[in-house]
Chain A
Amino acid sequence: MNDQGDHMTDQKPFVDIQHAQKSYGALEVLKDINLQVQKGQIVAIIGPSGSGKSTLLRAINDLDPLTGGEIWLEDKQINKNLPHRQYEKHINLVRQEIGMVFQHFNLFPHLTVRGNVTLAPKMLKGLSDADANKLAEEQLDKVGMLERIDYYPSQLSGGQKQRVAIARALAMNPKVMLFDEATSALDPELVEEVNLVMKKLAEEHMTMIIVTHEMSFAESVCDRVLFMDQGVVVEEGPPEVMFRNPKNDRTKEFLRKHLAGQHR
């Protein structure tokens, strides 16, 4: 399964997950997961809830640390074994290179849209107010939220919040973007505006790992699809195969149920 991925190209993988394992006590939620993502690739992870897909995504920037295995970004190991203080320093730097978008947006409600986008660049990259503002305007323009720059999150719709959250992540100029069910909490009519922004990123060859329930979206933008169930990657392949002609029975069953429930 993993050899396949390696043969597709000679390049060293950009994101390399090796033998990822995670358990809570006796409960094993990730069992020996291997995933290689090339630079500019877009990978979708699908699967039923409780399959471990969000846990895997959150392990990449160490929000949910693994209990076994290694995660690499380019030539840097993310989940290094270091003394606590050094590890904190290391992980804070690594996280600057990994953008994350959450299901529930997690915008900072006490800050304006501008404040949300400029907070980290100002604090961590030492940008001046003027430079941070310019950066915020660029990123917000990209997601179509420039006119709302002085609004508070509470004054925005869900779709607008998520677009701001994407701009906030992009402002740190990340090497890879992680999307954790970015459109699952949105009203159906607001999903499209967020999908459009993600498509735009895809066109700019941003490396992305997307946990999603939006099968048609996954099919239209992703290079590869992983189907996870009960902590393992059951099947993976290009979207046209995964969605049109999956081989594994569990994949078929999941897609059948899922598409039946979706009616779009």
Chain B
Amino acid sequence: MGLDFTVIPQYLDIILWGALWTILITLGAAAVSFIGGMILAVIALYAPKLVRLPFRAFAFLFMGTPLLLQLFLIYFGLVQVGIDVPAVMAGIIGLGLHFAVYNSELFQTGILAVDKGQIEAARTLGLGRMQALRKVVVPQAIRDVIPPVGNNMIALLKDSALVSVIGVSELTLSAQRAIGSTYRPFEFYVLVAVIYYIINLFMEAAQRRVERRVQASR
């Protein structure tokens, strides 16, 4: 049985919708992972022990267990305790929190690497501790960890394929549906691989743009 790529156009709309969902979930989860990661980092570094410890346990849980399991738990498990999370939301929250934990590690390193004189200068002007963190330390920390956080975001895009198992018709599940009616796995898997790769190229380009923009402020 030879390859036949002519079956693709007929299913292209399904695939492109899938690509759109993948992009939406990735962007949503990236936002969660970014903001959540920063909050976790600040808690890990500055919160009192009583607050810090439960968050550390949380981080350990998300780092030490499979993402797939976490998605199952959020989507199928939480219903049992009365929390019904729509599949797309479950995907965004699961992916987002998982990568928030990884981003938090990077942000912590970034915050600690900011020169102590920066906080001193901000405090001598009269800024409070949190004001100094928000306006002086965190922006510099973010600037310095853009490349590794960007890598995490690319890993996030690839792991978004896991959301297919809780029934979100993103790119991978769309491909499987097309394959289900055409029995042409090779053609469709190659197609979505190319689409993932293209999305990836856009993400890298965006990252480079951000890096260039902050170059002057070094």
Contact = CB atoms under 8 A, between A and B. Distances in A.
Given A102-B120, A104-B117, A106-B117, A172 B125 contact: yes
B56 interface: no
A63 B217 contact: no
Contact of A123 (B131, B214, B217): B131
A152 B140 CA distance: 13
Q: What range describes how many residues of A lie at the interface?
A: 20 to 34
B177 interface: no
Contacts of B118: 106, 108
A22 interface: no
Interface string B79-123: 000000000000000000000000000000000000101101111
B126 A120 contact: yes
Tell me which of A92, A99, A107 has the highest count of chain B C-beta atoms within 10 A of its own C-beta.
Answer: A92
Contacts of A232: none
Q: What range describes how many residues of B lie at the interface?
A: 20 to 34
A119 interface: yes
B143 A110 contact: yes
Contacts, number: 70
Contacts of B117: 102, 104, 106
A154 B140 CA distance: 14
Interface string A131-159: 00000000000000000000010110000
Contacts of B216: 152, 154-155
Contacts of A168: 125
A169 interface: yes
Given A111-B217, A154-B217, A106 B121 contact: yes
A30 to B, nearest CB: 19
Contacts of A92: 126-128
A98 B125 CA distance: 8
A63 to B, nearest CB: 6
B208 interface: no
A109 interface: yes
Contact of A96 (B120, B125, B214): B125
Contact of A88 (B120, B121, B128, B135): B128
B8 interface: no
Contacts of A172: 125-126
A169 B74 CA distance: 51
A100 interface: yes
Contacts of B135: 119, 123
Contact of B127 (A104, A107, A123, A152): A123
Contacts of A106: 115, 117-118, 120-121
B50 to A, nearest CB: 16
B146 interface: no
B42 interface: no
B212 interface: no
Interface string B160-184: 0000000000000000000000000
B77 interface: no
Contacts of A104: 117
Nearest to B143: A110
A104 B120 CA distance: 11
Contacts of B123: 63, 95
Nearest to B214: A110
A77 to B, nearest CB: 17
A63 B118 CA distance: 13
Contacts of A120: 122, 125-127
Contacts of B122: 108, 120
Contacts of A88: 128-129
A98 B214 CA distance: 32
B217 A109 contact: yes
B218 to A, nearest CB: 5
A259 interface: no
B136 interface: yes
Contacts of B217: 109-111, 152, 154
B213 to A, nearest CB: 11
B125 A109 contact: no
Given A95-B123, A120-B125, 8 more contacts: A95-B124, A104-B117, A119-B136, A120-B122, A123-B127, A123-B131, A152-B218, A154-B217
16 contacts: A88-B129, A92-B126, A93-B126, A95-B124, A106-B115, A106-B120, A108-B118, A110-B217, A119-B125, A123-B127, A123-B131, A124-B125, A124-B126, A154-B218, A172-B125, A172-B126
